[in-house]
Amino acid sequence: MEIVSAKFPFDVIVNNDNWKAQSEDIQAVLLSVADVFIRHFPENQFPAVKVYQENNGPPHIIFEPTEEGELQIWLSTSGTSWSQYAYQFGHELCHVPVNMGGTTGKNAWFSEVLCETASMYVLKTISKSWREFAPVDGFPARFHEDYFQKLIGDKARQLPAGKSLGQWYVENAEELRSKPVNDTRNLGNVVSNQIFKLLIESPDQWSAVRYVNRGAKMEDKSFEIFISEWHVNAPDKHKTFVKKIADLFEINLMSEQEIMDVLKKDLKDKADQVKEQLGQKKPKEKEENEDPASDKKNRQFARALELLDQQQQATAQEQSQGQEQSQGQEQRQGQGQGQGQGQGQGQGQGQVSDVLMEAFLQQAQNMRAERSGGGVGSGQRQSDTGQPGTGGEGSNPNQRLEVTEPSEIGELPDLKRMTAADWAKLPPKMAEKLLESQRGGMSPEFREQITHYFRILNERGRKKNTPSKSKK
């Protein structure tokens, strides 16, 4: 919903709530408050607002417009307490130039200070304007003056004797910056009393508040940087006023270049933190992508499976021809899934066994060495998965890849998880070494990779072992 610009000079719609007062009177009072405040913002036209009654909390403003396009202001008052209407409405109206479209962060308390100052300012001002014209009957202008005097004269709003605002702020900065604004209003009121003195003398400086929250976003921005940004962003006609506020806090304003240097450093620090967090969140993925050992593992497995597949294809051809050959050839075929299918298959399986066995034993040695304190070599990052990547090189068991050095393929399979069919596919010598190495106590890091290999090998064995129909 687009925000609707107010009708000149300002547009206030009062919702039909249980105000216990005439909506027309409420509207007239609020328009008189708006008149003495928005006149100091000649370069801006304020948006229209719709005012609601708040029964369960403090007054507040909602910048999300209504269906008709007005901003929402909620007041926690009723009846004909016109000074209270003015006090609350002046505060919320000030949030429009101070906060709309800006940022605050840990300096949000200062926005509340400025808006509290606006409350006192409108009360003091209408206490004079109502002498000439009162928008409602039966409420003398002096009632606004009395209300104002009670506020500004409150002992809780006064600086401790002998302390400057700068000294006071140093003592209270942590609480102001860390607690919610509703919990620090009493502290903020002390500051409002001091700033009010400046603005009642120079009301034309009110439009300076439009630039107070227009600085760069920074998570832990210091109040010094916050005020210095205000000074840099403010037009020349407001710089003297902002400098006076800085002086109240005994702040040495930073130059634009100094601010830029601080912001650049903050951005660099954030970038470094992000890099560090990403490195902590995805170490496994990074290592799998960058560790050449992972590539060796995948290549070695693919090559071993390829050799097995080639040999089984050759065996299948021999089987189809073996139906017409001697009993010795039939016996050789029957032993194909055990100790080998003749000399040719024995050589093929021997290649597979040698490749895998050397890799298995090498990995077992590596893992035992790391557990005993060997760790990884200097300048290397330890890979903590050993799992093959999905969809990458080596993930397809039929992919043709060159044979690499048989190192760091993975650990031996879990004997408890191996079936009789798995064992039947291993040559006796390899099975013996598997048992022997397993007794050394392998870790489970690479079990899944090897189990995947045996699963594929088992499936292929079942397919190849299915007897083909003899031709008639």
Q: Tokens 């007239």 — which residue?
A: 28
Is 328 part of a structural domain of the chain? Answer: no
C-alpha to C-alpha distances, 317 to 344, 384, 464, nearest whole angstrom: 12, 43, 10
Which pTM does this prediction carry? 0.59
Picking from 107-111, 166-170, 268-272, which range would have the lowest pLDDT averaged per residue? 268-272
Residues 190 and 315 in one domain: no
Contact 210, 164 (CB under 8 A): no
pLDDT of residue 387: 35
Residues 183 and 307 in one domain: no
Contact 156, 241 (CB under 8 A): no
Residues 69 and 207 in one domain: yes
Is 236 part of a structural domain of the chain? Answer: no
* Total domains present in the chain: 2
The domain containing residue 303 runs over which residues? 296-319+335-372+387-465
- The string of pLDDT tens digits covering residues 452-471 is 555 555 666 665 555 555 44
Residues 205 and 351 in one domain: no
Is 280 part of a structural domain of the chain? Answer: no
Picking from 89-103, 216-230, 298-312, which range would have the lowest pLDDT averaged per residue? 298-312
pLDDT of residue 406: 37
CATH number of the domain that 70 lies in?
A: 1.10.390
pLDDT of residue 312: 60
Contact 393, 401 (CB under 8 A): yes
Select from 199, 214, 229 the last residue of a domain: 214
Residues 310 and 162 in one domain: no
Kind and range of the H or E element at 5? none
Is the pLDDT at 344 greater than 50? The verdict is: no
pLDDT of residue 340: 42
Is 446 part of a structural domain of the chain? Answer: yes
Model confidence band, residue 417 (pLDDT cutoffs 50, 70, 90): low
Kind and range of the H or E element at 26? helix 23-38
Select from 151, 185, 214 the last residue of a domain: 214
Is 201 part of a structural domain of the chain? Answer: yes
Residues 187 and 66 in one domain: yes
Contacts of 457 (CB under 8 A, 6+ apart): 305, 308, 422, 425
Contact 72, 52 (CB under 8 A): yes
Highest mean predicted confidence (pLDDT) among 2-6, 376-380, 409-413: 2-6
Give the 3-state secondary structure percentages of the chain, helix then strand then coil, rounded to 5: 60, 5, 35
pLDDT of residue 298: 56
d(CA 167, CA 392): 64
Average pLDDT over the chain reads 75
Contact 102, 213 (CB under 8 A): yes
Is the pLDDT at 239 greater than 80? The verdict is: yes
pLDDT of residue 40: 95
Residues 159 and 25 in one domain: yes
Contacts of 312 (CB under 8 A, 6+ apart): 460, 461, 464
Picking from 33-47, 133-147, 245-259, 305-319, which range would have the lowest pLDDT averaged per residue? 305-319
Residues 70 and 186 in one domain: yes
- The string of pLDDT tens digits covering residues 128-150 is 999 999 999 999 999 999 999 99
Is 270 part of a structural domain of the chain? Answer: no
Residues 38 and 166 in one domain: yes
Percent of the chain with pLDDT over 70: 57
Contact 82, 32 (CB under 8 A): no
Is the pLDDT at 352 greater than 80? The verdict is: no
Residues 425 and 309 in one domain: yes
The separation between CA 189 and the C-alpha centre of its own chain, rounded to angstroms, equals 35
Pick the residue with more confidence: 292 or 5?
292
- The string of pLDDT tens digits covering residues 16-41 is 999 999 999 999 999 999 999 999 99
Pick the residue with more confidence: 415 or 75?
75
Kind and range of the H or E element at 396? none
Contact 115, 105 (CB under 8 A): no
Residues 410 and 313 in one domain: yes
Is 197 part of a structural domain of the chain? Answer: yes
Select from 181, 214, 247 the last residue of a domain: 214
Is 205 part of a structural domain of the chain? Answer: yes
